[in-house]
Amino acid sequence: MTWITIKTTKARWEAEMMGQILEAHSIPNRVLDIGLGIYFGQGSQAALQVRSPDQWTALLLLSPPENDP
């Protein structure tokens, strides 16, 4: 099964929080450290990945709510 990156963040805790939201909806996910920021004291950049069949569901769950006009 293919993993797809749906979000990248400047802080690992953000990706982990989004991952917990997806876990609550039984969507498998993983958080990967990316970049060299952690080595230069800038925090740990991270990528949130989900399996390809769950891509659109995950994006909808993590998107901001729509405002009614």
Residue 10 lies in a domain: yes
Residue 25 lies in a domain: yes
Q: What is the CATH number of the domain that holds 26?
A: 3.30.70
- Reading the chain (69 residues) residue by residue, the pLDDT tens digits are 899 999 999 888 999 999 999 999 999 999 998 876 555 666 688 999 999 999 999 999 999 888 766
Residue 50 lies in a domain: yes
Residue 49 lies in a domain: yes
End-to-end CA distance of the chain: 40
Structurally, the chain folds into a number of domains equal to 1
Residue 41 lies in a domain: yes
Residue 51 lies in a domain: yes
Q: How far apart are CA 63 and CA 7, in angstroms?
A: 11
Q: How far apart are CA 63 and CA 47, in angstroms?
A: 16
Residue 12 lies in a domain: yes
Overall residue count recorded for the chain in this entry: 69
The range of the structural domain enclosing residue 37 comes to: 3-62
Q: What is the pTM of this model?
A: 0.82
Displacement of CA 62 from its chain's centroid (Å):
8
Q: Number of C-alpha atoms within 13 angstroms, CB side, residue 34?
A: 15
